[in-house]
Amino acid sequence: MVSRAGIGMTSQRTRIRMVERLRTQGITDEVVLDVMSVVPRHVFVEEALASRAYDDNSLPISFGQTISSPWIVARMSELLRAKNDLDTVLEIGTGCGYQTAVLTQFVRKVYSVERIGPLLTRTRIRLHELQVKNVFLKHADGLLGLAKEAPFSGIIMTAVTTHVPSLLLEQLEIGGRIVFPKGSQEQNLCVIERKSHGYTETVLESVKFVPMLPGVISR
């Protein structure tokens, strides 16, 4: 992966500092930390916000959406990986594509679905410029899943929902996991694992996400 030309701040040192902070915040998966020390987070935000890209915050992207904070991206990535590289992952909520780009570094093929068309168009260009190849982007309602490409080794949802539709649960392979923010006002990260006999659910840290919404926006 290469950083976008014309943007001055490609500072490797800034990323290393971010990764050191993630360690102190409890992230332990070395693969995730390695990947985040390489992926240029600043190219995923508006140029005016680039100097804040490595701060410990979410930031506005456009269309009322936000790029998740570095800690959220790291935590969801390590929960999804559970110390193993993955074959296929469905991401619901591509947004600016930063989480997507991180995923592509330890997943063979990432399928990412976004409901806001113009947002996805920008992200498509950005990921192409970064030469990210093992990704398939689709403008669609992610709550419907991607039956044609199922089953997935993992599913990650980057917007909050009260429950995972059964249609999505069915698109997970046995042994696979879904990582998502669960709730509405009160929200927690949640991991659902598919076992041969059914599903188990683990509720974790409290978080803050924009809502998962039905339907698509074309312009």
Query: Which CB atom, from 33 or from 76, has the smaller least distance to ligand SAH?
Result: 76
Query: Which CB atom, from 6 or from 214, has the smaller least distance to ligand SAH?
Result: 214
Confirm if 180 and 205 have CB atoms less than 8 A apart: no
- DSSP string for residues in 34-88: HHHTTS-GGGGS-GGGGGGTTSSS-EE-STT-EEPPHHHHHHHHHHHHTTS-EEE
Using the rule CB under 6 A, is 113 a contact of ligand SAH? yes
Least distance in angstroms from the C-beta of 91 to ligand SAH: 7
Q: Is 68 one of the catalytic residues?
A: yes
Q: What SS3 state is found at 15?
A: helix
Taking CA atoms, 211 is separated from 2, 18, 77, 172, 185, in Å, by 32, 27, 20, 22, 10
Q: Which of residues 125-144 bind ligand SAH (CB under 6 A)?
A: 141-143
Q: Which of residues 29-88 bind ligand SAH (CB under 6 A)?
A: 61, 65-68
Using the rule CB under 6 A, is 159 a contact of ligand SAH? yes
Report the first-to-last Cα separation within the chain, whole angstroms: 30
Query: Which CB atom, from 66 or from 88, has the smaller least distance to ligand SAH?
Result: 66
Using the rule CB under 6 A, is 190 a contact of ligand SAH? no
Q: Considering only residues 22, 74, 92, 135, which one is a binding residue for ligand SAH as defined by CB under 6 A? A: 92
Reported as half-sphere exposure (CB side, CA atoms, 13 A), residue 111 has a value of 19
Q: What SS3 state is found at 120?
A: helix
Residue 59, beta-bridge partner list = 67
The one catalytic residue in 3, 37, 62, 68 is 68
For the annotated catalytic residues, the residue numbers are 68
In the complex, the residues that contact ligand SAH under the rule CB under 6 A are 61, 65-68, 92-93, 95-96, 98-99, 113-116, 119, 141-143, 158-159, 210, 212-214
